[in-house]
Structure 1
Amino acid sequence: MAQGAVSFSGVAEGIVGPYPPVFVVDSQARYIPLEGRRRWRGFSRQALHVLVALALFGMVLEAGCIIHLYSRTRDLVSIDHTALQLKSKLLKGHKESEENNEILVGITRSPNPRETEHKPTAHLTGIGQLENGVVMWESNDNSLSALKHKMDYKDGKLGVQQEGYYYVYSKVHFIEECSVFKHYVWRMTQAYSKPLQLMKANRYHCPSQKSRQQNSQQSFQQTPHQNILNSYLGGVFLLSSGDKIYVTVNNGTLKSGAEDNFMGAFMI
């Protein structure tokens, strides 16, 4: 019995016998407890929920940005369309004014009489004579087409009494064949010893031989409109008190008439 006990004990310790006993466990095998697996699954689900929420938030944010960009683009397109319409109208009016040499008046609100009643304004018409190329305007204060307010006139020069930005303009009608007609607007100021050229225009017209033969049979009063040219100058300038503005022309026969020739300035 003692030997059998020893033999059984040897079998129990795994020393003797061809097969390992059923209660022998491999010590290298890994085992994850059930509680750990449940925790891992819960963490995975939470992470998935967070990712889905972030994806939905990104989609909502992108949709909002697209809607905002679309609204801004629609407004810009509307503004551009309105600007193009206004530009086309102004260009059309400017083209017509260039053909007729008229002052282009933009789309503005009606002026307030209180805002304009104290601003310097002058409008001189007609041509008396030329002195060294300087146009001498009619200085008759009783003329219906002439206007002077807070500005003086002497020897063909319009005097500025108040400093500010002025729109200065001049228009003349002339007859000149095959020669350059020169139209200038000058400024005399105490800051410079010589006059400053503000604006200029050079016009050239040479009629054909057929047109000359037709015009030779007609008098000056019956000269066709195509042979009477005109030149218009206008611009905004900063003028100081004491400045003088005047107009000169060269190489041309000016057409008389208060409505045909004028010069003026007004503070803006």
Structure 2
Amino acid sequence: MTQEGLKCPTVFTVDSYHTAPPPLPPRPGRKRHIGTTQVLLFLLVSVALSGMVIEAWLIYRLYHPSPPTEIALPSAAKLINEASALRPLPTKWPRLVEAPSKPLAHLTDGLDATAPAKDIMAWSEIADPLLYKVSYKDGSLIFHENGYYFIYSKVTFNVDILVRHSIELKTKYYLGKKTITLLKSMQTTVSRPSNSFLAGVFHFYKDDAIFVKVGDTSHVAHHDPTENVFGAYMI
């Protein structure tokens, strides 16, 4: 039996949420390291993609070629002139196609030969003279290059008296002398015609000049151009 006026007991409510421990905070994420395999894989993929791009460009160029560029070809005359400029040209070389490898000269007698003096031989300029890196002027051969040369001369005489024949040098390197005798012949002919031949080796400088001197050009025979010759060539 309950007593009146007895108070009911106090009811307490319990919050079950607070009975459990609080949740833990989220754990921080770890950094992922890129391995060597992944780097190699990336490089291989990049190379493969580059190859595909290049292959696509080559295929495009194959089926879409660019228009040809017009190139002006040089004329045959221009090519010949350029080829000739690469090799030395002869001063006068009318008979042979190719010039010699060294300077030379060979002169003969002729009707057009006019002696510059009574005792100096003249030579024909129209009888196919051979001149390469050696020029001819007023009876003299003028050298264009320094070097040793073999020189020669033959003169035919039509008299039976004492005749003189020599090869003379004009050079600026010997002061006080107008000419220098290089080779000389003096002889008394006993028959008509007779000839004198001179030859030797000498060193010459550029612009040196040599000429043939005789006692009197009126004593020289002029029957055939080959009777009188004058020449030189580098050795």
TM-score by length of 1: 0.46
**1:182 matched to which residue of 2?**
164
Aligned length, in residue pairs:
130
Q: 1:255 aligns with which of 217, 221, 226?
A: 221
User: What is the identity, as a one-letter code, of the residue corresponding to 1:267?
Assistant: M
Structure 1: how far apart are the matches of 2:227 and 2:114? Answer: 14
Shift of 1:118: 2.5
**1:168 matched to which residue of 2?**
151
Q: What is the 5 A alignment of 1:209-228?
A: 226-228=191-193
Q: 2:125 aligns with which of 130, 136, 139?
A: 139
User: What is the identity, as a one-letter code, of the residue corresponding to 2:186?
Assistant: N
Secondary structure of residue in 1 paired with 2:225: coil
**2:12 matched to which residue of 1?**
none
RMSD across aligned C-alpha pairs, in angstroms? 1.6
State the Cα deviation string for residues 109-148 of structure 1 (Å, max 9, x = none): xxxxxxx8231000010052331311111112xx34x200
TM-score by length of 2: 0.52
**1:236 matched to which residue of 2?**
201
Structure 2: how far apart are the matches of 1:237 and 1:185? Answer: 11
% identical aligned pairs = 33
Q: What is the 5 A alignment of 1:38-117?
A: 117=100
User: What is the identity, as a one-letter code, of the residue corresponding to 1:205?
Assistant: T
Secondary structure of residue in 2 paired with 1:227: coil
Within the alignment, does 1:202 sit opposite 2:167 as a pair?
no
Structure 2: how far apart are the matches of 1:129 and 1:202? Answer: 24
User: What is the identity, as a one-letter code, of the residue corresponding to 1:199?
Assistant: L
Structure 1: how far apart are the matches of 2:101 and 2:197? Answer: 27
Unpaired runs of 5+ in structure 1? Answer: 1-115, 207-225
Structure 2: how far apart are the matches of 1:176 and 1:117? Answer: 38
State the Cα deviation string for residues 163-191 of structure 1 (Å, max 9, x = none): 000000000111122x2100010010111
- Greater displacement, 189-198 / 230-239: 189-198
Unpaired runs of 5+ in structure 2? Answer: 1-98
State the Cα deviation string for residues 95-122 of structure 1 (Å, max 9, x = none): xxxxxxxxxxxxxxxxxxxxx8231000
State the Cα deviation string for residues 225-253 of structure 1 (Å, max 9, x = none): x4210000000000110100100111461
Structure 2: how far apart are the matches of 1:129 and 1:230? Answer: 20
Structure 2: how far apart are the matches of 1:137 and 1:227? Answer: 22
Structure 2: how far apart are the matches of 1:117 and 1:227? Answer: 37
**1:129 matched to which residue of 2?**
114
Higher helix share: 1
